Amino acid sequence: MKILHTSDWHLGQMLYSYDRTEEYRHFFTRLKEILRWEMPDAMLVSGDIFDVSNPSAAVARMFKDTILELHTLVPDMKIIVTAGNHDSASRIDIDRNLWRSSGIHVIGGLDRKDGTYNFSDIIIKIADKGYVVALPFVNRASLPKLKNGKGGEEALFGALEEKVNKINTEGLPVVLMAHLAVADCDMQGHRERPIGGFDAVDVEVFGSGFDYVALGHIHKPQCFGNGRIAYSGAPLAVSFDEDFPHTVSIVNVERGESPEIENLEIKPLRALKTIPEEGVPFKKALKTIDKLSDKDLSYIRLNVCQEEDLPVDCMEQAVARSKDKNCRFCTFKFTSVRETPAEPLLSGLKTFEFKEMEPCEVAESYFRSMGISETLTNDYLDLIMQIQEELSQEDDSVKRG
């Protein structure tokens, strides 16, 4: 079975207030080219269709029109789309039956009644090629717990594996779609991070019955378990820290064999650039905008490194500098440096010495350790002293009362 695996489209995302519709259309054009060439048996979109749970009418229409165009382009290809944590399951499920009548599967939530899951419409046969278990994002708080104390995902994936094995009497390959974070995955640039790994799962929870696990949620393409468990990655960068190739995956899956994965890069219409490569003083960073070609459509983040703080009108200066260019200035990457190395925080202090320190002394030591400029440090200390004075006056007032 040959599939195209993609995820995390985040349709409707505004990048620093810039509309990205033309970039998504550029991606869809490239996606159509890939589908015409590869002619996969199925296209899987593993969650985070939209950037927000309540997308605008225009964004929702763009999604629907695109899916219908892809269906017309490759009518024999099964299209399966599942919701991610950014999506509203209930909103997506409004058209679930309507989509299915067209041979397209757009699944918002997992049907559960009286504590029992109904898997009937998320196990989808792909002609005579294989099966796809289309699991949308499921909040782990609602998952069943196992007696051995392990996470509920293991129970859910085990039940899905058991169910599909009963149906799969021909021994065809089976693909699982899921939207979650795998422990120790590379989350470079990701906006939401699991706290202490609590929201991440070990690869062992997927069991051994799925020939390929098509994951969404993490934007950097990567594989686990000899390629059997993989993220296709997002097709567009959603932040400047996602400085890696963005891809969709073509995957050939056979029963009991390691899948063959080819990641196809999606060249962006507008790249996200941090310039210059190394941080420089503010005025020098501004001049790098002048060197950009008029044909450069990139989003720009200026890399500034200096001792003093950014000027109060830094945004206005950068926007004015780029107004005659076709690039889109967004923000700054600012690093503060001091002429002398920053001191370690409260280095060498004994406990009794720390207890004797005034709050302003502790704060000043912290600011020095963080490399914060003297001017800004003094401003912060003034505010702390003002708060101390107000608290002291309030305390005196209470004592007198």
Q: What is the pLDDT of residues 93-126, one digit of tens each?
A: 999 999 999 899 999 998 877 767 889 899 999 9
- Do 63 and 163 fall into the same domain? yes
Buried b (16+ CB within 10 A) or exposed e, 179-199: bbbbeebebebbeeeeeeeee
Residue 53 has pLDDT above 80, yes or no: yes
Q: How far is residue 127's CA from residue 142's CA, in Å, rounded to a whole number? A: 33
- Do 332 and 375 fall into the same domain? no
Domain final position from 265, 288, 316: 265
Residue 259 has pLDDT above 50, yes or no: yes
- Do 236 and 316 fall into the same domain? no
Contact between 243 and 233 under an 8 Å Cβ cutoff? The reply is no
Residue 59 has pLDDT above 90, yes or no: yes
Contact between 181 and 133 under an 8 Å Cβ cutoff? The reply is no
Q: How far is residue 289's CA from residue 333's CA, in Å, rounded to a whole number? A: 15
Nearest one of 257, 252, 264, 180 to 221, comparing CA atoms: 264
Read off the pLDDT of residues 144-177 as tens digits, 9 standing for 90 and up.
665 555 557 888 899 999 999 999 999 999 999 9
- Do 32 and 127 fall into the same domain? yes
pTM score: 0.82
Name the residue range of residue 305's domain. 272-336
CATH of the domain at 52: 3.60.21.10
Question: Is residue 346 a part of any domain in this protein?
Answer: no
Contact between 241 and 194 under an 8 Å Cβ cutoff? The reply is no
Distance of CA 367 to the CA centre of its chain: 32
Question: Is residue 322 a part of any domain in this protein?
Answer: yes
Structural domain total, the chain = 3
CA gyration radius, the chain: 26
- Do 216 and 238 fall into the same domain? yes
Alpha-carbon distance values, 318 to 273, 286, 313, 315, 335 (Å): 15, 6, 9, 5, 17
- Do 55 and 142 fall into the same domain? yes
- Do 316 and 205 fall into the same domain? no
**pLDDT of amino acid 185:** 92
